[in-house]
Amino acid sequence: MTVGAGVVSAPVVRLAGVQKAFPVKGGGSTVALQGIDLDIARGEFISLIGPSGCGKSTLLRIVGDLITPSAGTVQVNGKPAPQARLDRDYGMVFQAPVLFDWRTVEANVRLPLEIQKVRGAERDRRVQEMLDLVELTGFHKHYPHQLSGGMQQRVAIARALAFQPAILLMDEPFGALDEMTRERLNAEVLRVWAQTGTTVIFVTHSIPEAVFLSTRVVVMSARPGRISDVIDIDLSQPRDETTRETDRYYELVTQVREALRGHHEGAPVGVPSKERARAEGGIG
């Protein structure tokens, strides 16, 4: 299977026929996700974008084994998702930083390492490395409430990477921040991604953000939640502020926007477009 940048042997995440229905008060159920097929190769940066209710956060949580699908299979790193979770193959960053108030920045980053029983010098070294990576050196002894929102999210990212997971799941991590901080943190995430080679699945509402960060953008639509389009982002790496000003960037943003709008306005579901065929039949 060929994808964006490079050829890889097996996808690091494979979703086949995934479906999720939630029971609804008063009987019955609502289908959050239907017929999700997606392969993600190692080292990719995938964005999930779509209107509210399209199930993108649910999908992310299914990959992370925080929610069990009603049907279909989820393979992460060649194993079923629950096993991948127990093996700690991924790190997660939520929309709110979810830092523990009673721990210093350093202790917060240390948390996953403690649970994995990493001790002593090795542990301290990794914490230091992570804080350096997100450029928060010197803030070890601060408490979360002493930091701004953007800084707190950086700590959350440092924490998620502390144990060097193969996959990073991010659920609208910059949603609560203002535009300028968000763009700055976008650049940081890209830098971290390039340096660590982690595979990233990133949920967002923001089209510019999705295009700027990703190697591929997965467009989803709602009711029921499904993948309506997958768009390759062929902007060159490394990307920076100037990338946001290129013609190709605008073209891609428009393409994503139209993909989102197209299915919002109810393009006939039964007619296969090239992108839809690719999305539904897996990638390749």
Partner 1 sequence: MSQRPDAAATDRAAAPDPSPGAVRDEANAFLVEDAAGVADVADALAVASTTGAEAIVGRWSSPAGRLLRSVLALVAFFVIVGVAWQAFKWVSGDPWRFENILGTGASYFHQPPFRLIQATDIQLPHIWDIAYAMSEPVQRNQDTSLAAYLLGAAVYTWAEAAIGFVIGTVIGIVLASIFVHSVLVERAFVPYVIASQTIPIVALAPIIVVGFGRGLTSVVIIATYLTFFPVTIAMMRGLRAPDPRALELMRSYAASRWSIYWKVRLPASVPYLFTALKIAAAASVVGAVIGEGPGGVKDGLGRAIVNFNQQYITGPEKLWGTIVIASLTGIFFYLVVRVAEIIVLRGRQKMEA
Partner 2 sequence: MTASTGSAPVAGGRLPPTGAVVARAVRYLPAIVVFVAVLVLWELSTGGEGRRVIPPPSSIWAAAQKNAEVLREAALNTFWEAIGGLVIGTVAGIAVGFASARWAIARDILLPVAIGASTIPLIAIAPIINNWFGVLNPLSKTMMAALLVFFPIVINVTRGLVQVQPAALELMRSYAASPGEVLRKVRIPNMLPFLFTALKVSTTLAFIGALVGEYFGGSSEVLGRVVLTSMSAGSFSLAWAAILIASAGAIVTYLLVGIAERLLIPWYAALRAGEI
Comparing CB distances to partner 1, the nearer of 22 and 250 is: 22
HSE, side-chain direction, 13 A CA sphere, residue 153: 21
Q: Which residue has the tokens 């949603």?
A: 175
Task: Indicate the SS3 state at residue 158.
Answer: helix
Comparing CB distances to partner 2, the nearer of 10 and 98 is: 98
Helices and strands counted in the chain (H then E): 9, 10
d(CA 161, CA 184): 19
| Closest separation in Å from C-beta 44 to partner 1 | 27
Comparing CB distances to partner 1, the nearer of 104 and 215 is: 104
Indicate whether 24 belongs to the interface with partner 1 (CB under 8 A): no
Indicate whether 111 belongs to the interface with partner 1 (CB under 8 A): no
Instruction: With contacts defined by CB under 8 A, name the span among 150-158, 219-227, 254-262, 269-277 that binds partner 1.
Output: 150-158
> Which residues contact residue 67 at a Cβ distance below 8 angstroms, ignoring those fewer than 6 apart?
20, 58, 61
What is the helix (H) or strand (E) element at residue 219, kind and residue range? strand 216-221
Indicate whether 97 belongs to the interface with partner 1 (CB under 8 A): yes
Strands of 29-40's sheet in order across: 29-40, 13-23, 71-76, 79-80
Nearest alpha-carbon partner for 114 in 166, 165, 162, 64:
162
d(CA 242, CA 214): 16
Indicate whether 148 belongs to the interface with partner 1 (CB under 8 A): yes
Comparing CB distances to partner 2, the nearer of 96 and 177 is: 96
Comparing CB distances to partner 1, the nearer of 121 and 180 is: 180
d(CA 225, CA 269): 13
Give the tokens for residue 161: 């990477």
Instruction: With contacts defined by CB under 8 A, name the span among 37-45, 65-73, 90-98, 267-275 that binds partner 1.
Output: 90-98
Comparing CB distances to partner 2, the nearer of 84 and 207 is: 84
| Closest separation in Å from C-beta 225 to partner 2 | 20
Residue 181's binding partner, choosing from partner 1, partner 2, none, with beta-carbon cut-off 5 to 8 A by kind?
A: partner 1
Indicate whether 150 belongs to the interface with partner 1 (CB under 8 A): yes
Indicate whether 144 belongs to the interface with partner 1 (CB under 8 A): yes
Indicate whether 187 belongs to the interface with partner 1 (CB under 8 A): no
d(CA 14, CA 11): 6
* Residues contributing to the site for partner 1 (CB under 8 A): 96-99, 101, 144-145, 148-150, 152-153, 176-178, 180-181
